[in-house]
Structure formats: structure tokens, C-alpha cells
Chain A
Amino acid sequence: MAKVIGAVVIDTEACKGCDICVHACPTDVLKLNDQVNGKGYNPAYPANHAACTGCKICALVCPDMCITVYQYKPDKVA
């Protein structure tokens, strides 16, 4: 069975940089950006995208609903 791989898309303008997703991620994908967004927060971004499994844990704990999670199984989808 091929490994499931995932990707996250973060709405950087909605993110308030609370850091909860960064600590929740089991594969250390996310980090806070040094650049601030329009509101002056440091938004999260997927620094280590290759490790993402699409487990949704970051999205489940995100209080501002700014994370969309995608999952892909290489051998399943043509």
C-alpha cells in the first residue's frame, strides 16, 4: 500500500499565529512565519511539506478555521 500523502493550505490573512497547530502537528510540518500578515500576526506555514500525511490534526485544533487539508493516495487515483 502506497503511503498517503497530504498537503495543507493556510489562509494566512485569517491566521492569528496562535501556534497551536505548530505544536499539534505530529510530523512537525508547520512553523510560524517570520513575515507578518496584514493584521500583524505571524501566520503558520507548511515549512516541511514533504512530511505531511493529511491527518487533519492541525485543522481540527485551529480556532480560526484557516487550514484546508488535502490527501492523495498515489496508487488509488489515476
Chain B
Amino acid sequence: MTTSVITPEEIIKKGTVVFKKTELMTNNTLSYCPGCGHGVAHRLVMEVIEEMGIGEETIGVAPVGCSVLAYDFMNVDMQQAAHGRAPAVATGIKRVYPEKYVFTYQGDGDLAAIGTSETIHACNRGENIVIIFINNGIYGMTGGQMAPTTLAGMKSSTSPYGRSIPTMGYPIKMTELVAHLPGVAYATRQAVHEAKYVRKAKKAIQKAFENQRDLKGTSIVEIVSNCNSGWKMTPVDANKWLEENMLPYFPLGDIKK
């Protein structure tokens, strides 16, 4: 024990900052529920853009859903698209400004339900954009209705006895689906509920933006997230439930690289 007692104030004064909020996030308070994975996903996208030094050259497309207000939080140029149409809007932006970096930020109700066709066709055309896909298995904003990604047996406000496979079908695996398309350069699934997954997710998002820089085609990064309000759990329980139930059906890792 050679070190004498040192107060937190001294550490702050003498030490170095090892983590602080990125400049590319605005100071507006996030509109998400406590513990929602959207906040971490927002931060990762913005950190990657800041580290690549492309903040001035990036245009984001916000979806309809909980993250509809992403343009209030992300301090880059943003456009809000009609429900599910973010990949189509991003296609237009990218073709008018081919030198800009374009990304869409969509939830599962947006990308996997009403926007399935736009997503599949944008990926099939190999549009040189990045798609960030937040999958929490539920429609969060409208009150926890069943989404195409809701797990079998999972209760939601429109499947109160649990999702029944014979009548409601299987949860859709969008990332696997589009990974088959030749236009897709990179398809991966990540999570943000624990620090080790957060670090991997950031690397994946970085790779997606690098693919866009190198003109490789569409990159889709799915992030398995929580919806503790919709799942009716505490944030900590929701993250545990995610690990035990979501990850076996939606396994993490690169699907195409």
C-alpha cells in the first residue's frame, strides 16, 4: 500500500478523461424510457462518426417509432422518413450526394413490418448505405403490440396469450433474410445490454461505415435491444430476459462479411 488516500476530486483534477459523452450527441434529454437500448445505440453510431471524422459529411434518416426523434439527439444532418421508407429515402439522398455518408436508423416495426419491401429492395440494389436495425421484438412506441420479430409464446398487448406460431407465424429474421442478397456487403447482429457486447457492436458499426467509404454495398447492423416498458419488466430484468430468450433465437455475430 504505497499510495496514500486520494479523493475523487483530486483524481478528476489530475487524471485523464477516459470516457465522456460524444460531441455529436446533443444535450437534449433522450425521450426514451429508463434503460432503453436506443440510447447506447445512438451513442455508438455517433461515436463511430466522430472517430472517423465524418460528422460534417453524414446524413442520417430517422424512422417512425420510438426513435422518430433521433434528429433531436444526433448532431448530424438528419431527415425523417415516412413509416418504413427510410431505406428508400436514404437511396435518394445517397444518389444525389454520392460523396456523403448516409445511414438509416430503424426499429423492427419500421424495418421488418411496414418497410420490409423497401429494406429488401434497397439491399438488393446494393445501395451504398448503412442500415442500423434495432430489434426489440415489440412495437414500443404505440404500446407494446406484437411485431413481426416478437418471439414465439411472447406476450404482447395484441397477443395476450403469447404469440401462437400456427396463427401468427414465426418471428422474422430480417438480417439473415437480406444477407442472402448479393448487394449486401455486410450483415451482422449485435447487442448493447452489456459492456462486452457494446464494444463489439461499436466495431461492427465502424466496419459498416468503412464499407460505405470503400463503396462495397449495403451494410446492415442489427442490434438486439430491450423494451422494458413493452415487456413490462425492470430494465435489469429486461436485459436478463433478453439474454435468456432473445439471443437463442437471434444469435449474435457476423452473418455475412
Chain A residues close to B by CB (< 8 Å): 2-3, 5-7, 9, 14, 16-20, 23-24, 41, 46, 49-50, 52, 54, 56-57, 59-74, 77
Chain B residues close to A by CB (< 8 Å): 2-3, 5-6, 8, 10-12, 14-22, 25, 29-30, 32-40, 43, 192-195, 198-199, 234-236, 239
Closest to A57 in B: B195
Q: Which of B14, B22, B38, B234 contacts A63 (CB 8 A)?
A: B38
Is A69 within 8 A of B17, CB to CB?
A: yes
Residues of B within 8 A of A72 (CB): 6, 10-11, 14-16
Closest to B16 in A: A71
Is B15 within 8 A of A7, CB to CB?
A: yes
State how many angstroms separate the Cβ of A46 from the closest Cβ of chain B: 7
Closest to B27 in A: A14
Is A63 within 8 A of B37, CB to CB?
A: yes
Residues of A within 8 A of B11 (CB): 5-7, 70-72
Is B43 within 8 A of A65, CB to CB?
A: yes
Is A69 within 8 A of B236, CB to CB?
A: no
Is B17 within 8 A of A24, CB to CB?
A: no
Is A41 within 8 A of B34, CB to CB?
A: yes
Is B38 within 8 A of A19, CB to CB?
A: no
Closest to A19 in B: B236
Is A68 within 8 A of B34, CB to CB?
A: no
Known: A19-B236, A60-B199, A64-B30. A70 touches B12 (CB 8 A): yes
Closest to B44 in A: A60
Is B3 within 8 A of A61, CB to CB?
A: no
In the assembled complex, 21 residue pairs joining A and B whose CB atoms fall closer than 8 Å, in A order, are A2-B3, A3-B3, A17-B34, A18-B236, A20-B35, A20-B239, A56-B195, A60-B198, A61-B40, A61-B198, A63-B34, A63-B36, A64-B34, A64-B39, A65-B39, A67-B19, A69-B19, A72-B11, A74-B3, A77-B14, A77-B15
Nearest first, the 6 closest Cβ-Cβ pairs linking A and B are A63-B39, A72-B15, A18-B35, A16-B34, A18-B34, A69-B19
Residues of B within 8 A of A77 (CB): 14-15
Bound complex: CA of A51 vs CA of B40, how far in Å? 25
Is B6 within 8 A of A60, CB to CB?
A: no
Bound complex: CA of A72 vs CA of B15, how far in Å? 4
Known: A19-B236, A74-B6. A59 touches B19 (CB 8 A): yes
Bound complex: CA of A72 vs CA of B6, how far in Å? 10
